[in-house]
Amino acid sequence: MSFARDAAAHPYRPPYVIPAPEPERMPGRLVLGLAFAQFGIMLSLLTPMMVTLALRVAQIVPAAERGAALGQVLSLGAILAMLANPVFGALSDRTTGRLGRRRPWLIGGAAVALLGLVIVGLADSVQVLMLGWAVAQLGGNAALTAVTACVPDLVPEGQRALISGTVGMMTSIAIVTGTFVADLFEANLIMAFAVPGVTGLMGAVWLAVVMKDRPAQRGAFGRYGVREFLRSYWVNPRKHPDFARNFVGRFLVFTGISCVTSYQVYFLMDRLGYAPGEVAEKLSLATVAMVAAVVVGSLLGGAVSDSTGRRKPFVLFSSLVIAVGLALVATAHSYLAFAAALMVFGFGEGLYLSVDVALAVEVLPNPEESAKDMGVLNIGNALPQSLVPIIAPTLLAIGGGGNYGALFLFGGIACVLGAVATQLIRSVK
């Protein structure tokens, strides 16, 4: 946004940030910095969620109590992650220090996440484990909020889909990398927590060094009190209907995605008959294939979307591909069919990731509060991870139990409805 346009948008107060001319193209070092920061932070958060927290709980509590203890730890982390994004985003938007608006939260958040992971690795009780994971989630999400805000802050409009896809696919790559890290340090769980945390801090520092960041202008914001805290979670849908439509669309699509990511382990055991000891290997191989499809979809969708300047058709197509992938998983009765279905699902997810953030940036109510508003949107993809496990048992119980067809049909319908909601956006092509 130019100085003139910014001043026109806020005629009665100074602009929040001294603007800089938007570059025609992002330098490669900044693209790599964004990708590495996203990869490192997601590695530090996802590796414990997928593998190492469960192993750490198993070392602390008796076998009969493991499930309940792990559920307590993960539930606390999910709640904090959902609540933290908008708040840290609002605070980041208001930061006036010399380091800029994003750097303090980027580096500080990654450092706090590393501290929390070390506490988890050293914990000798569930209570200390919960404390460490809470610290890790708060720090990691503070850093993640800063990375997300860098897309509207730094990425030129003509590259947003490609770079959003590149950054987005780092999450899938982090998932695969996390399984290998956990396997490599299985005998030393402190290192299994510390290595992802250090990687996250390294990525944050790299991005902080290569990025341009300017502080918010003093006096542009009022004091951050209770009202501002509550406002961190709200964007008026009447004033900003396209933002609301995008939130609904994102929530529904990620509901469909969560049906697979939350229940693929049990699908392999219940539908395909694999023993618990075989699931990790089978899932790792299928996940590698899926991530390869995510990478292809992200790069292809981002490049074509940027070249055409269109977003909504790609959201529609990618959501339908995800729905097809869900249908294929629902009908899979062999491992090869399951792996092939995950590849279709992954290709659709990659296409979606390539345009999701780019479209979101174009419907932000106020670009100068991008971190806060992107944090609100992130609730749309975080909340389904908590809601799907609540809804799924009812769907699986239809017809006597194990009805994965009903679960994945529900996910497919959610994706289609999400695509429809996004098509109602009027301000974006």
Domain map of the chain by residue range? 24-233, 235-429
Of the candidates 53, 191, 41, the residue with the CA atom closest to the CA atom of residue 109: 41
Chain segment 337-372, per-residue pLDDT in tens: 999 999 999 999 999 988 887 888 888 887 677 777
DSSP category for residue 48: I
The residue whose two tokens read 């396997």 is: 183
Considering the four listed CATH numbers 3.10.20.30, 1.20.1250.20, 3.40.50.300, 1.10.1060.10, the one that applies to the domain covering 235-429 is 1.20.1250.20
Is 2 a residue whose pLDDT tops 60?
Answer: no
Lowest mean per-residue pLDDT among 33-47, 222-236, 388-402: 222-236
The residue whose two tokens read 């990691």 is: 140
CB-based burial label for 426 (10 Å; 0-12, 13-18, 19+): exposed
- DSSP string of 292-342? HHHHHHHHHHHHHHHHHT--HHHHHHHHHHHHHHHHHHHT--SHHHHHHHH
Out of 1-10, 16-25, 70-79, 290-299, the most confident range is 290-299
Cα–Cα distance for residue pair 377/19, rounded to 1 Å:
24
Lowest mean per-residue pLDDT among 63-67, 128-132, 361-365, 416-420: 63-67
Superfamily of 24-233 according to CATH: MFS general substrate transporter like domains (1.20.1250.20)
Chain segment 395-425, per-residue pLDDT in tens: 988 987 789 899 999 999 999 999 999 899 8
Q: Are 166 and 108 in contact (CB under 8 A)?
A: no
Phi, psi of 425 (to 5 degrees): -65, 135
Q: Do domains 24-233 and 235-429 have the same CATH topology?
A: yes
Is 1 a residue whose pLDDT tops 50?
Answer: no
Assign 222 a pLDDT band (cuts: 50, 70, 90).
low
Cα–Cα distance for residue pair 202/196, rounded to 1 Å:
10
Is 20 a residue whose pLDDT tops 70?
Answer: no
Is 321 a residue whose pLDDT tops 90?
Answer: yes
Is 197 a residue whose pLDDT tops 90?
Answer: yes
Assign 285 a pLDDT band (cuts: 50, 70, 90).
confident
Out of 10-14, 41-45, 88-92, 367-371, the most confident range is 41-45
The predicted structure's pLDDT at residue 206: 96
205-219: average pLDDT: 85
Cα–Cα distance for residue pair 347/322, rounded to 1 Å:
8
pLDDT, the chain, mean: 84
The predicted structure's pLDDT at residue 74: 80
